[in-house]
Structure 1
Amino acid sequence: MSSDDPLTHFSPAGAAHMVGIEGKPETPRRAVAAARVRMAPATLRRITEGGVGKGDVLGVARIAAIAASKRCAELIPLCHPVRLTAVDVTFEVVESLPGVEVRAEVRAIDRTGPEMEAMTAASVAALTIYDMCKAMDRGMAVEAVVLLEKDGGKSGHWRREG
């Protein structure tokens, strides 16, 4: 989509509306998104050693991400409910950041793709990490929520360069 393409969530008169998808075929679709949580080295160490008093930070963040992906249409006004078939959330501890990189892969069979569900999952996982660790590190930062890849539908495969 170029900058000259029309924005599909706006009518010709400029009013926001939900795009009609009834004419599109149901096909397998997939989206992968990421987010990053930058933190103090001591906070990262406590997460990896299981020393956070609230519990298993990454385990709770994974469950929060999965739950959030299922609620995306309730959170983002013009999103369609998407029939998800799988949600996989992984974490990479990055000492050089220091912090945690979140990756959410969402699969669906529907008329529209799960890009927003994947980005919501990655965002909520990162926010959950922040919430569980904020008492020890208020300087954490949730960064770089991005769509990495999508498959399916009329536009086919797309992957973020770089």
Structure 2
Amino acid sequence: MSDFTHIDTHGQAHMIDVGSKADTEREARAEAYVRMAPATLELIVSGGHKKGDVLATARIAGIMAAKKCSDLIPLCHPLMLTHVKVVLSPEPERNRVRIETCCRLKGQTGVEMEALTAASVAALTLYDMCKAVDKDMVIDGARVLEKSGGKSGHYIAAESAHD
């Protein structure tokens, strides 16, 4: 494992200087899951939730979160994202909603944190909208699925127990 990039030689946290890095096309995909009672998932899928369209609201929240990532995570750079996609897929056979996100830009630093933030906030929004009917929901499995661009190259996650 390599050294932590956000820690200097004195052990102090710092923001990485990306000024000398070349602009490259960068993309990251992430996922998260929200497990819930079958009745809660049915309420979401049927559109019967009194708060409205849970999936659409969570999708918009995820997109907004990706754009605000540097406001939430102290050492993240503010980025000019060119694409953010958030897809929420009900999986009734597993009593859960799968959230997959994709963030893209042409720039000097990666977008993994934006993709993870989008997935996490979409999951939190889904939880928030449904907590009155299901207090036992569980958010889990947040991870980077794939990233490309930059000097570290292409990364694809190993298969997960969530698959």
TM range (shorter): over 0.9
Distance in 1 between residues matched to 2:24 and 2:49, nearest whole Å: 42
Letter in 2 for 1:86: H
Q: 1:95 offset after TM fit, Å?
A: 1.4
Q: Is residue 73–residue 81 contact of structure 1 (8 Å, CA) maintained in 2?
A: yes
Distance in 2 between residues matched to 1:97 and 1:21, nearest whole Å: 42
**5+ unaligned residues in a row in structure 2: which ranges?**
none
Distance in 1 between residues matched to 2:141 and 2:32, nearest whole Å: 5
What corresponds to 2:9 in structure 1? 12
Distance in 2 between residues matched to 1:6 and 1:143, nearest whole Å: 27
Distance in 2 between residues matched to 1:64 and 1:117, nearest whole Å: 13
Q: 1:43 offset after TM fit, Å?
A: 0.1
Number of paired residues? 159
Q: 1:97 offset after TM fit, Å?
A: 1.8
Distance in 2 between residues matched to 1:81 and 1:97, nearest whole Å: 36
What corresponds to 2:132 in structure 1? 135
SS of the equivalent of 2:93 reads coil
Q: 1:89 offset after TM fit, Å?
A: 0.7
How high is the sequence identity, in percent, across the aligned residues?
51
> Are 1:38 and 2:31 an aligned pair?
no
Structure 1 ranges of 4+ moved more than 2 A? none
After superposition, the C-alpha distances for 1:114-142 in whole angstroms (9 at most, x for unaligned) are: 10000000000000000000000010011
> Are 1:82 and 2:79 an aligned pair?
yes
Distance in 2 between residues matched to 1:6 and 1:25, nearest whole Å: 22
Q: Is residue 82–residue 113 contact of structure 1 (8 Å, CA) maintained in 2?
A: no
Letter in 1 for 2:128: D
> Are 1:48 and 2:52 an aligned pair?
no
After superposition, the C-alpha distances for 1:85-127 in whole angstroms (9 at most, x for unaligned) are: 0001111111122010000000011100110000000000000
Distance in 2 between residues matched to 1:88 and 1:101, nearest whole Å: 14
**1:97 equivalent among 78, 86, 94:** 94
TM-score by length of 2: 0.96
TM-score by length of 1: 0.97
What corresponds to 2:61 in structure 1? 64
